[in-house]
Amino acid sequence: MKVLERYDTNAICHLHMNAPDRLNALSEEMLAALQDQIDALQNDATTRVVVISGAGKAFCAGHDLKQMTAGRQAEDGGQAYFKGLFARCARVMTGVQKLPQPVIAQVHGLATAAGCQLVASCDMAVAAEGTRFGVNGVNIGLFCSTPMVALSRNIPRKQAFEMLVTGEFIDAAKAQDLGLINKVVPANQLAEETQALAQRVADKLGVAVKIGKQAFYEQAQMPLEDAYAYTGAVMVENMLHRDTEEGIAAFLEKRPPDWTQ
């Protein structure tokens, strides 16, 4: 059985974490499988949107604690193992944002520690009612420092810090209020609602979305004037694209666009 399954529908790639007995923990195997798909999607011109979901009772319960415990048995106490583990995890998380395609987390049950980090690293997220989110490592003596990076870039600092130092969960409604997720839906509508959102994005001009996603994250790190200069150049690049010209013409002529991409 594969720990990560992939299937594609209507230019949407679904990555389904399939280790329900381990609550889809980000084990060595899961991280490797996710990285393989991220690498493959970088140059996949047919895929316009990516959806990440999980099998069983939970979306993702974070790192595999049994593997981490075994890693401590090395002669150096696990220093090299842990350094490699967190580097591989960071590569997956940053890889999600570097993909040209928007990535949507389809979340249910539980998203904790690095699982919450994965939700925060995705461009959008849809959650089922009853889903709980947490960065709970502090409860076992391990502060969620790497999940903190993505979380603190999604929600207000004081709210993020409270989650990190108390180890308490927030529910889906609170997660939406804070901006961690986009919407909350009934559990029996989760797949349908996520697919509908993905399809709305997939129907847009792919090159425009690709350009826009990269610019979104780049400009967010810049001072205001630099951000305007950078995005102005991006707009020029976008405007000069043949399909953008066609999209504007189609709008003015009140007809569907004839896009090539």
Same domain, 176 and 51: yes
Same domain, 212 and 189: no
Same domain, 189 and 219: no
- DSSP H helices in the chain: 28-41, 65-71, 79-98, 114-121, 145-151, 157-166, 172-178, 190-202, 206-220, 224-239, 242-252
Collapsed DSSP state (helix, strand, coil) of residue 44: coil
Q: How many domains does the chain have?
A: 2
| Upper half-sphere CA count for residue 114 (Cβ side, 13 Å) | 24
Report which of 3, 33, 37, 7 is spatially closest to residue 18, judged by C-alpha positions: 3
Do the domain assignments include residue 257?
Answer: no
| Predicted pLDDT of residue 6 | 97
| Predicted pLDDT of residue 261 | 72
| Residue-averaged pLDDT of the chain | 95
| Predicted pLDDT of residue 215 | 96
Same domain, 231 and 127: no
Domain boundary residue among 162, 185, 202?
202
Same domain, 97 and 40: yes
| Upper half-sphere CA count for residue 88 (Cβ side, 13 Å) | 18
Same domain, 221 and 100: no
Do the domain assignments include residue 85?
Answer: yes
Do the domain assignments include residue 169?
Answer: yes
As a whole number, mean pLDDT of residues 193-216 equals: 95
Q: What is the pLDDT of residues 212-242, one digit of tens each?
A: 999 999 999 999 999 999 999 999 999 998 8
Yes or no: say if 51 and 195 are a contact pair by the CB < 8 Å rule.
yes
Do the domain assignments include residue 260?
Answer: no
Q: How far is CA 17 from CA 43, 53, 73, 102, 143, in A?
A: 22, 6, 28, 18, 25
Q: What CATH number does residue 124 fall under?
A: 3.90.226.10
Report which of 72, 58, 71, 68 is spatially closest to residue 22, judged by C-alpha positions: 58
Do the domain assignments include residue 84?
Answer: yes
Quick one: how far is CA 229 from the chain centroid?
28
**What is the value of pTM for the model shown?**
0.95
Quick one: how far is CA 114 from the chain centroid?
12
Same domain, 15 and 47: yes
Do the domain assignments include residue 91?
Answer: yes
Q: What single-letter DSSP state applies at residue 26?
A: B
Do the domain assignments include residue 143?
Answer: yes
Q: How far is CA 92 from CA 33, 97, 169, in A?
A: 10, 9, 24
**CB neighbours of 49 closer than 8 A, spacing ≥ 6?**
11, 12, 13, 101, 102, 103, 104, 198, 199, 201, 202
Same domain, 119 and 134: yes
Domain boundary residue among 202, 220, 244?
202
Same domain, 126 and 229: no
Query: Which is more confident, 169 or 239?
Result: 169
Whether 104 shows a pLDDT value over 80: the answer reads yes
Yes or no: say if 61 and 25 are a contact pair by the CB < 8 Å rule.
yes
Range of the domain at 170: 4-202
Give CA–CA dist 232/187, Å, rounded: 42
Same domain, 122 and 246: no
Q: What CATH number does residue 247 fall under?
A: 1.10.12.10
